[in-house]
């Protein structure tokens, strides 16, 4: 079963394999390994029964599976399945990190930058945002993010010293990976992502942290919380514009 999780969780992946079968209906060593763990730690089977159930499962999910040819591999998988389920730890976002992101004065760009930061902070990424991680942006923000949006945000982060490319001499022609430079390992976390649901709702968690959707006034350029999606001015400038409109109206009619 293809891994569709944002937070790596072997138990959940094993459950998906148990329900849906092997990816592409073909016997797979890694998936068989997780399935054996599921038999052992969820269903409570012992070695002999784990082996029997794995063979039965493999035959029903792969028409070309040959028990005799795969005997040694089956025995090795059953033996190694005594290892406990592994799960990545929490991904914590700190105030310092969010302050750096808010230096980018565009709320949509901020959310994409936050998604990139979250993905890079997972244990499996170790501070890197890689080319194959791009589809995860959509999962994190629950919306479609097209490729050039991501490219633009990565470029903005690079200009602000928040990231750097993986290629030699800071070139972008290596493997498309981006090293995130503003990761704060010691700061106090203000957003803690410890469940798949939170990971897939990170954009809304950030919006709640900010107190609402942020806007930047066209007149004074200060940050404000929008009351509507089309609001372009902070409350002070909005009042001044309304006063100016009324003065102009009064002057025109008198």
The angle at the Cα of 172, spanning 168 to 174, to the nearest 5 degrees, equals: 60
**The pLDDT of residue 89:** 82
Cβ-in-10-Å burial (0-12, 13-18, 19+) of 23 comes to middle
pTM (two decimals): 0.75
Query: Under a CB-based contact definition with an 8 Å cutoff, are residues 134 and 150 in contact?
Result: yes
Would the pLDDT of 152 be above 60? yes
Average pLDDT over residues 141-146: 83
**The pLDDT of residue 172:** 46
Would the pLDDT of 2 be above 70? no
**The pLDDT of residue 173:** 45
Phi and psi torsions of 216, nearest 5°: -130, 120
Q: pLDDT by residue (tens digit) across 222-238?
A: 999 999 988 999 999 99
* Residues found in the chain: 254
Beta strands in 98-229 (DSSP E): 128-129, 163-165, 178-180, 189-193, 214-216, 223-225
**Domain ranges across the chain:** 10-80, 91-212, 223-253
H or E, element range at 140: helix 134-141
Give the residue, 77 or 243, on which the prediction is more confident. Answer: 77
Q: pLDDT by residue (tens digit) across 81-132?
A: 999 998 888 899 999 999 999 999 999 999 999 999 999 999 888 999 999 8
Q: How far is CA 29 from the centre of its chain?
A: 26
Spatial CA neighbour of 213 closest among 201, 229, 199: 229
Name residues whose C-beta falls within 8 Å of residue 168's C-beta, 6 or more positions apart in sequence.
174
Residue 145 vs residues 47, 85, 141: alpha-carbon distances, Å: 46, 33, 8
């Amino acid at each position: 079963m293809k891994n569709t999780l944002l937070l790596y969780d072997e138990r959940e992946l094993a459950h998906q394999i148990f329900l849906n079968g092997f990816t592409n209906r073909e016997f797979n060593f890694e998936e068989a390994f997780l399935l054996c763990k599921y038999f052992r730690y969820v269903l409570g089977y012992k070695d002999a029964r784990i082996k029997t159930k794995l063979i039965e499962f493999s035959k029903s999910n792969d028409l070309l599976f040959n028990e005799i040819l795969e005997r040694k591999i089956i025995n090795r998988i059953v033996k190694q399945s005594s290892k406990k389920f592994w799960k990545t730890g929490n991904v914590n976002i700190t105030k310092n990190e969010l302050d750096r992101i808010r230096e980018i004065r565009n709320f949509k760009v901020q959310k994409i930058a936050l998604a990139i930061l979250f993905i890079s902070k997972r244990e499996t990424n170790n501070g890197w945002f890689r080319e194959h991680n791009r589809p995860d942006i959509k999962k994190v923000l629950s919306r479609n993010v097209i490729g050039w949006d991501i490219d633009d945000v990565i470029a903005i982060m690079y200009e602000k010293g928040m990231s750097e490319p993986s290629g030699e001499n800071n070139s972008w022609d290596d493997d498309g990976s981006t090293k995130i430079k503003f990761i704060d390992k010691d700061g106090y976390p203000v957003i803690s992502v410890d469940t798949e649901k939170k990971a897939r709702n990170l954009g809304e968690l950030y919006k709640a942290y900010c107190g609402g959707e942020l806007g930047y006034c066209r007149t004074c350029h200060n940050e404000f919380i929008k009351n509507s999606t089309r609001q372009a001015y902070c409350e002070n400038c909005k009042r001044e514009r309304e006063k100016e409109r009324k003065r102009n109206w009064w002057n025109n009619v008198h």
